[in-house]
Structure formats: structure tokens, C-alpha cells
Amino acid sequence: MPICVRNGFAGLKSPLLSVADPATHAVVQQVGPFANVIRPFTINGSQTRVYVNVNDLLGFEVGDLKTGKVLQHVEVTGYQKGEVKRHGCPSHGVALSPDEKELWLADGHNSAVHVFDMTAATPKQIATIKVRDQPGWITFRMDGKHVWPSTGEIVDAKTKQIVARLTDEQNRMVQSEKVVEVVFDGKKVVRTGDQFGMGQKR
């Protein structure tokens, strides 16, 4: 089955997302054009939808991986765009919950993560979590219970409350956009997650 490849097929100068067949390494379809050049994106488990950050948008867009069409343009309400420290776009970070009922979105200027209910035809903004710095990525725990913004908070996915903040031995903030969950059985690695916040429904 053709799949969407996160790196290399969404260039910083193109509003089109390419879909590649991993068996042939050939581009088999393009999705878009989106409203601006594509930044981080994620897909659902059945590989039918793509959720895209684009330059100059505090929000996200939704594309159909089967037809190549852009389906929705969703803007965050109640918050303004502004200057960001890194990445150069208002929203750089988007993740689906494993059950695909929610989408979590980074907001750099407002140092926040916005949560959308994705169970209806139109995404509904339902919560905002203020974080300690400007987030640039969002990762879900494999079981969906916790969310890890790149700013180092651990957020309870159900209550939307921050339950811990990562610090080092000198009580300095620990932050990273590259977070990977690893499950051990004794000394043996038995399962790993990834940083991409992809949906898991198939």
C-alpha cells in the first residue's frame, strides 16, 4: 500500500504533499495544494487522511490521501499569531491521539498546545494547555495516556492537566523535539514508539 513519508516528501518550498510507494520508491500521488508550504504533518492509521501544518497558519489543514484534495482549513480561535523563536511558523507540531478522537496542535507564539475533538465532521477546539516555552513538536505515549510537548511537560491526555515537568539534576528545563518511547522486557527491547503522533485506527 502506498504510504506518506514524513521526511523528504514535504519540502519547505512546496504546498504539495507527495505520496510514495515503499515497494518502488516512486511518487504515486500528490495531495494539495495546501494554503502554504508544508511543515510537520501526521496521518491516520488507515492512511486516508493527512493533517498538515503550513506556514503562516495557526491551525492545520486536512487532506484526503486517496483523492489528493484538501478537505478542511482549521484555524485556532481566541489566540493571535505572532513571533516565534524557531521554525518560522505559528504551528509547528501536530499529533493525533492513537484512537484518533483528538488532534493536538502546537502554538509557538502563545506557548500553548490546543486540543481539537475530531469525532465530528468539523474539528472542534476543546482545550488549551499553556506550556513553559514555545512548543515545536508533540508526541503521544503509545497507549495514549500521556502527551509530551517538546517543552518537557507530561500531560494527562484525558484530563488535559500537566502532571510533571522534565528537569535535569540542576533543576534546569529539559526539552526535546526528538522523543521516542522504548519498552523493555528485562534488558530486551520489545516495543518502540515514534515521535510522529500518527493515528493507530485501521
Asked whether residue 164 is assigned to any structural domain, the reply reads yes
Cis peptide before 33 (omega within 30 of 0): yes
The total number of structural domains that make up the chain: 1
Answer whether 0.75 is exceeded by the pTM: yes
Asked whether residue 37 is assigned to any structural domain, the reply reads yes
Task: Give the closest residue to 99 by CA, choosing from 136, 140, 65.
Answer: 140
Q: Residue 7 above 60 pLDDT?
A: no
Asked whether residue 199 is assigned to any structural domain, the reply reads no
Number of neighbouring beta carbons within 10 Å of residue 76: 21
Contacts of 107 (CB under 8 A, 6+ apart): 58, 76, 79, 90, 91, 113, 114, 135
Asked whether residue 70 is assigned to any structural domain, the reply reads yes
DSSP 84: -
The lowest-confidence range among 21-25, 40-44, 97-101, 146-150 is 21-25
CATH number of the domain residue 15 falls in: 2.130.10.10
In angstroms, rounded to a whole number, what is the distance separating the alpha carbons of residues 50 and 32?
Answer: 11
pLDDT tier at 202 (50, 70, 90 boundaries)?
confident
146-170 pLDDT, tens per residue? 999 999 999 999 999 999 999 999 9
Contacts of 25 (CB under 8 A, 6+ apart): none
123-133 pLDDT, tens per residue? 999 999 999 99
Give 71's strand partners: none
Which residue range is the domain that position 100 belongs to? 3-192
DSSP 18: E
Q: What percent of the chain has pLDDT over 90?
A: 85
Task: Give the closest residue to 65 by CA, choosing from 143, 144, 3, 158.
Answer: 3
Asked whether residue 200 is assigned to any structural domain, the reply reads no
Q: What is the mean pLDDT of residues 187-195?
A: 93
Handedness of CA 173, 80, 87, 182 (dihedral sign): positive
Asked whether residue 198 is assigned to any structural domain, the reply reads no
Q: Is 131 helix (H, G, I), strand (E, B) or coil?
A: coil
Asked whether residue 97 is assigned to any structural domain, the reply reads yes
Asked whether residue 197 is assigned to any structural domain, the reply reads no
In angstroms, rounded to a whole number, what is the distance separating the alpha carbons of residues 69 and 50?
Answer: 10
Q: Is 64 exposed, middle or buried (0-12, 13-18, 19+ CB in 10 A)?
A: middle
30-53 pLDDT, tens per residue? 999 999 999 999 999 999 999 999
**What's the Cα-to-Cα distance from 105 to each of 20, 98, 164, 202, rounded to whole Å?**
25, 15, 19, 22
